[in-house]
Amino acid sequence: MPKMKTKKAAAKRFHLTGTGKVKYKKMNLRHILTKRSPKRKMNLRHAGILSEDSAASLRKQLLPYG
């Protein structure tokens, strides 16, 4: 059986932590930042963690070798 291919778009956007959780960068921090409050921008800087059901399907279909 041939190797499964990783979806490269997903590989650039998601990363696995040591415990197997899926980490991603939050959206809405690219441009037109003047209308967003400093508190919102500060919270958007931190990485997000995907929920377990979303992470399971992502790991299986898009990142088969994690």
- In-domain check, residue 3: no
Question: Tokens for 40?
Answer: 């919102």
What is the average pLDDT across 2-31? 95
- What's the half-sphere exposure (Cβ side, CA atoms, 13 Å) at 65? 6
Number of structural domains, the chain?
1
Sheet with 48-49: strands ordered across: 14-16, 22-24, 48-49
Q: How confident is the model at residue 42 (pLDDT cuts 50, 70, 90)?
A: very high
Q: 36: how many CB neighbours lie within 10 A of its CB?
A: 13
Distance between CA 52 and CA 4 in Å, rounded?
Answer: 22
Looking at residue 41, its pLDDT comes to 98
Distance between CA 9 and CA 35 in Å, rounded?
Answer: 30
Q: How confident is the model at residue 63 (pLDDT cuts 50, 70, 90)?
A: very high
Domain membership of residue 41 as a residue range: 8-61
**CATH number for the domain harbouring residue 39:** 4.10.410.60
Looking at residue 66, its pLDDT comes to 79
22-41 pLDDT, tens digit each: 999 999 999 999 999 999 99
